Amino acid sequence: MQYVIGLGEALFDCLPTGRKLGGAPANFAFHASQFGLNSCAVSAIGNDELGREIIDTLTGVGLRYQLPRVAYPTGTVQVTLSGEGIPQYDICQGVAWDNIPYTEEIAALAPETIAVCFGSLAQRNGVSRATIQAFLDAMPADSLRVFDINLRQNWYNKEVIEQSLDRCNVLKINDEELDVVAPMLLDVATTEGKLIAEDEAKATAVCHQLIDRYGLKMLILTCGATCSYVFSPSEMSKQLTPKVQVADTVGAGDSFTAAFVAQILLGKSMQEAHEMAVRVSAFVCTQAGAMPILPKEIIG
């Protein structure tokens, strides 16, 4: 069997409206599964009530998982929302997903994985970082390895970002993250008080530098409520972000990535995959929490 894997943090987002299962890789796996792919969430949970709740939730939505129990509490994130529904995160330390063991069961998935999504956050601790890197190194050479960089608070550094870029072939990054990464890796300065992504020509040039330096197949750049881009060495797709009534944006980027990857795996073009990703993420913004069920009229 061939798998699409979300690898990294599995946790509960503690929102003003209540507790919702989240974590970027788990969100990715869930949304990819809605397109009929054999998805699996890989992380770790504690031997506690929250861990059992994660198992029950994933079982309830029919999502496969490899979630070894470890001697740390299941992760939680306190989420506050701005008036526009933009989340701010307070991410607890010393939790289960910081300590994902490279079990025989997890290792056995790697050679059967056709696409994986991983980020920088779950690599803040050496245990999970070693597991993620070992998994990536054991995947088939022609698989999609998506680095959704997902910079959170100060839980990243240049070494982890470069190690991840060396192992991925698709980079997903947003405009604010591009402003961090460009000076860090390419010695590109941002203009005074202006995001790189507000200058399309400069953003395009920076993205192509990253593609060239790290041998990427594609680079996805999202610019919030404005637009998004997908670059390959020879193509560019640009889509405006639809105007919707936002409940919250938690998980919207993860659903974008999942929909895009699913469409590529299903044989769609880069442009078609981008269009689906935009539709899916716009819908997720209208719903509370990161894992709403997608309507049939979107999936098709």
Whether the CB-CB separation of 26 and 48 falls below 8 Å is answered with no
- Name the region of 56 (left: φ>0; alpha: ψ -120 to 50; beta: rest): alpha
Short-list 281, 142, 270, 149, CA closest to 218: 270
User: Rounded to 5, what percent of the chain is helix, strand, coil?
Assistant: 40, 25, 35
pLDDT of residue 195: 67
Whether the CB-CB separation of 174 and 257 falls below 8 Å is answered with no
Q: Quick: pLDDT tens for 112-165.
A: 999 999 999 999 999 999 999 999 999 999 999 999 998 887 889 999 999 999
Whether the CB-CB separation of 280 and 56 falls below 8 Å is answered with no
The tally of domains found in the chain comes to 1
* Percent over 90 (pLDDT), the chain: 72
Global model pTM greater than 0.75: yes
| Residues whose CB falls within 8 Å of the CB of residue 8, separated by 6 or more in sequence, listed in order | 23, 24, 25, 42, 43, 97, 100, 118, 119, 121, 122, 123, 128, 132
Q: What is the DSSP letter of 80?
A: E
* Range(s) of the domain holding residue 140: 3-299
Task: Name which residue leads in pLDDT, 183 or 167.
Answer: 167
Position 93 confidence tier, pLDDT thresholds 50, 70, 90: confident
pLDDT of 75 strictly over 80: yes
Rg of the chain over all Cα atoms, to the nearest angstrom? 18
Mean pLDDT (the chain, rounded): 91
SS3 at position 91: strand
| Residues whose CB falls within 8 Å of the CB of residue 104, separated by 6 or more in sequence, listed in order | none
CATH of the domain at 261: 3.40.1190.20
Lowest mean pLDDT among 19-23, 221-225, 271-275: 19-23
Q: Quick: pLDDT tens for 37-64.
A: 999 999 999 999 999 999 998 998 889 9
